Amino acid sequence: MRIRYSRWDGSQSVPDLDADEILSAISDDLMADGDLWSALRRMYQRGAQTPQGRMPGLQDLLKRLRKERQQKLDRYDLGSTMEDIQKKLDEILQTERQGIEQRVPPGAERDQKMERLDQMPPSPAGRIRALQSYDFTEPEAKRKFDELLKSLQQQMMQPFLQNMQQGLQNMSPQDLQRMREMMRDLNRMMRDRLNGEEPDFQGFKDKWGQQFPGAESLDDVLEQMGRRMGQMQSLMESLSPEQRQQMQDMMRSLFMQDERLEAEMRQLAANLEQLMPMDSMRQRYEFRGEEEIGMREAMELMS
């Protein structure tokens, strides 16, 4: 059975609680110290036994979540995130080779194109850099690469713009320009906060509020971004040193065509480090399994 947890919004259906059952469940605690609120808090933390069975508490829920995460850590191989990207790049190059063989007659031109493919860097980051300036012969290979590039850009930008999922799915150069502008505005507010000045959050909300539903203050925005940034940093910490370097190189390659956007992202990350307790949000997870896992799924395990 799959259970989905979400923020309370009033639409959830909760079984009726019987007051007599609740009082019966906390009677021993209540008799011990006579503090009703303390007894209720302990029941909330530890759960209680009722005539209908055991009512789990917060500790039970956390224990269940930790157990489920450990099962997934024992199941998956985090290194496969990079291997999956490498595999997709290999498929793109193979598709391009086949396209050249079908579309370009034997001769010097075909040899030159094949030689350029042979000289592609072996690392994912190097290949991404090279393919961004490569003139594809096979449209299907170009489509696959654009799709991969867009997917990776989405995943790398989510820690900064977690509420822009719909917008990230169809990024155009104009969309990237708007994101750069929004990051610049965010950085300006964060610099104001760091300098002891009052940020113009209302002006930011009027301009970008539709991208951050539910955020009523700069603190709300920082909390959302900090949580996702913590996931990304936990992912990096959980990789081996070699894999971490590959990931960092790849992240730089993804936005090589928009260095200003990359600069704003770096500045945003640096500002978050100063305004949020990021050390408490990042930790290393030991993946012990062999099953492949994608980057998006791996990020979800970091929360």
Question: Does residue 144 fall inside a structural domain?
Answer: yes
pLDDT band at 131 (very low <50, low <70, confident <90, very high): very high
State the pLDDT at residue 1. Answer: 37
**Coil, strand or helix: which one is 104?**
coil
Q: Averaging pLDDT over each range in 21-30, 45-54, 85-94, 255-264, which range is the top one?
A: 85-94
CA geometry: angle 130, 135, 141, nearest 5 deg: 85
Question: How many CA atoms lie within 13 Å of 109's alpha carbon, on the beta-carbon side?
Answer: 8
Percentage of the chain lying above the pLDDT 70 cut: 71
Question: Do 176 and 280 belong together in one domain?
Answer: yes
State the pLDDT at residue 165. Answer: 45
**Coil, strand or helix: which one is 76?**
strand
Question: Do 41 and 64 belong together in one domain?
Answer: yes
Q: What angle in degrees, to the nearest 10, is found between the helix axes of 218-238 and 259-275?
A: 100
- Last residue of one domain, picked from the residues 154, 169, 185: 154
Question: Do 272 and 169 belong together in one domain?
Answer: yes
CA distance 184 to 190: 10
Question: Does residue 245 fall inside a structural domain?
Answer: yes
Question: Do 127 and 173 belong together in one domain?
Answer: no
Question: Does residue 95 fall inside a structural domain?
Answer: yes
- Last residue of one domain, picked from the residues 154, 178, 202: 154
Question: Do 192 and 269 belong together in one domain?
Answer: yes
* pLDDT tens per residue across span 214-260: 788 988 888 877 777 777 777 777 777 887 787 777 777 776 566 77
Question: Do 193 and 266 belong together in one domain?
Answer: yes
Question: Do 169 and 99 belong together in one domain?
Answer: no
What are the residues whose beta carbons fall under 8 Å from the beta carbon of 97, sequence distance 6 or more? 114, 117
The identity of residue 45, as a single letter, is: Q
Question: Does residue 255 fall inside a structural domain?
Answer: yes
- Nearest alpha-carbon partner for 287 in 303, 301, 273: 301
Say whether pTM exceeds 0.75.
Answer: no
Question: Does residue 298 fall inside a structural domain?
Answer: no
- Nearest alpha-carbon partner for 99 in 142, 59, 131: 142
What dihedral angle (degrees, nearest 10) is formed by the CA atoms of 49, 53, 55, 61?
Answer: 120
Question: Do 169 and 274 belong together in one domain?
Answer: yes
CA distance 150 to 88: 13
* pLDDT tens per residue across span 61-87: 788 877 777 777 776 777 777 788 889
Q: What are the φ/ψ torsions at residue 4 (nearest 5 degrees)?
A: -110, 130
**Window from 6-15, 159-168, 178-187, 276-285 with minimum mean pLDDT:** 159-168
Q: What are the φ/ψ torsions at residue 98 (nearest 5 degrees)?
A: -65, -40
Q: Which domain holds residue 261?
A: 158-284
Question: Does residue 17 fall inside a structural domain?
Answer: no
What are the residues whose beta carbons fall under 8 Å from the beta carbon of 292, sequence distance 6 or more? 76, 77, 80, 83, 84
- Last residue of one domain, picked from the residues 53, 74, 95: 74
| C-alpha torsion sign, points 183, 189, 190, 191 | positive
CA distance 92 to 97: 9
Question: Do 185 and 262 belong together in one domain?
Answer: yes
Question: Do 280 and 164 belong together in one domain?
Answer: yes
Question: Does residue 290 fall inside a structural domain?
Answer: no
State the pLDDT at residue 168. Answer: 45
* pLDDT tens per residue across span 148-201: 888 887 777 665 554 444 444 455 667 777 888 888 999 999 999 999 999 999
- Nearest alpha-carbon partner for 279 in 230, 240, 245: 230
Number of domains in the chain: 3
> Between these two residues, 109 and 58, which has the higher pLDDT value?
109
Question: Do 113 and 165 belong together in one domain?
Answer: no
Question: Do 240 and 135 belong together in one domain?
Answer: no
Question: Does residue 239 fall inside a structural domain?
Answer: yes
pLDDT at 129 over 70: yes
